[in-house]
Amino acid sequence: MTSVSEKYHPDKLLKSSPYKGESKRIIAIGASTGGVDAIAKILRQLPRNLPPIIITQHIPDGFSTSFANRLNINSELDVFEVRQRMPLRDSCVYLAPGGLHMLLDRQGNNYYARPQDGIRISRHCPSVDVMFRSLNNVAGKAALAIIMTGMGDDGSIGIKELYDNGAYTIAQDEASCVVFGMPKQAIAKGAIYDIVGLDSIHKKIIAYANGELKRNH
């Protein structure tokens, strides 16, 4: 067993290999404390015909299935828990299972998600850092990455890699976070292009899907 107090870098599980080419749009959301309700609120406000959305929420094994089911019932999108390798499709959401990391692959121009057993990275399994790094390895600048309410700093390494590779990165603002730890650490790292309140995140996702969200630098 690894000690929860030990902090492992994403390198322990997945090498950084940033994707530099053109690719299809894909959206990733990472959250911890307060994230269950915040994510549910965002998904309720989203229409169909969006690029695939992948989500890592810190959640214990046994709770992620009911969370995925709840999101599926209460949104227009089709929500799946990633318990096996799955192709990522438009109008669909893919949730990391409790106790497993979620990694991405690509074949041609298509994305796939799969569960991955492993040690806690940045003190968590599933880890937002692992998802964001994996996203950068397959999509790079084509991605939209959003880091939301949560304690600690999981996600700040991976989202900085995405930012440095040209991806559009968003942090939830302090006023709308239950705990501002994860967004705060990402902002401090210089990993964030835009800071947005919870009530406006869905608008950014829609704008991105429509090709209207562009980085100026």
- Residues present in the chain in total: 217
Per the annotation, the verdict on 32 as an active-site residue is: yes
Marked catalytic residue, from 58, 101, 124, 127: 58
Q: Which of 32, 127, 134, 156 is catalytic?
A: 32
Rounded to a whole number of angstroms, the CA Rg of the chain reads 15
Q: Is 90 a catalytic residue?
A: no
Task: Give yes or no: 124 in active site.
Answer: no
From first to last of its 217 residues, what are the pLDDT tens digits of the chain? 344 567 999 999 999 999 999 999 999 999 999 999 999 999 999 999 999 999 999 999 889 999 999 999 999 999 999 999 999 999 999 999 999 999 999 999 999 999 999 999 999 999 999 999 999 999 999 999 999 999 999 999 999 999 999 999 999 999 999 999 999 999 999 999 999 999 999 999 999 999 999 888 6
10 Å CB burial of residue 170 (0-12, 13-18, 19+) is buried
Report DSSP state, residue 23. -
Which candidate in 154, 156, 173, 176 is catalytic? 154
